[in-house]
Structure 1
């Protein structure tokens, strides 16, 4: 019991010390973390919509006139939830290694399928624009139009997520490291 009270008092002292010495870096770090967290949640929501479309069309739960068959790019995009979860884990641990890994995975697994998807769907979009022919529908709308709209949002979400993660890494690297108590060596 005494050790818990000691830890609580130490935490209060640490908080008070931080508040008096805050130079804005803590505020910047927390605002960047909240931005990244919000973008990850938006990404997971978009991912859930793609997952829902893939599941509904694969299991044929509704007629194909309501939900289109998935395009090829949608299957690898389902892997994009992994970098999102890794980003959240990296922020909890303040692990620069995991954050860099999450950024690389976001570029490869999230943005890669979106670029491929825009190329894959371009002939259908061109045909829709020039001839007005629509072969796939999502809830009565042209699947190409709906998916291009979702892709534009997803690319922006991923780009901003990469930008804020990079800024967060810079804040983490500029934060002063805690010195080891006298008599102890720093681990390398």
Structure 2
């Protein structure tokens, strides 16, 4: 029997945030593809993350950026225990916010899907923002929706400022099977 604990989950009309800790095996049964932007942060543990035609090992402190309609799926790594925070949002959630300003387009990071391998200091920044978002939604003080939007913009600005040389582009395959699967998917 699958055991997991949902610490927090909530959604607005065009925004969803969820924090989940799993202690037993969990594999997505099908590839996912949707009309929202996705930000996936690994709080602890490891997962395999299949994106488009590649399989990546995502570790504690990694931030995964998934574009609209990008095929993706997660599956167990050797140690199945993990905790992650997931954000899905539509552009309309930020329609009244300054997402294109001072020569920066905050949604431009959602080009080809990417994985950011963060330093400890960067992990602290991201975790602080994510935990504030969760706290705002949980407590729902006056203006909480606006504060969540501001925190999301701050996270997107962090991603936009992230040095493009640090994007994790050249992951090595974990084994020959993962390489073969990626080659077959690319061919298809």
TM-score past 0.5 threshold? no
Structure in which a larger fraction of residues adopt strand: 2
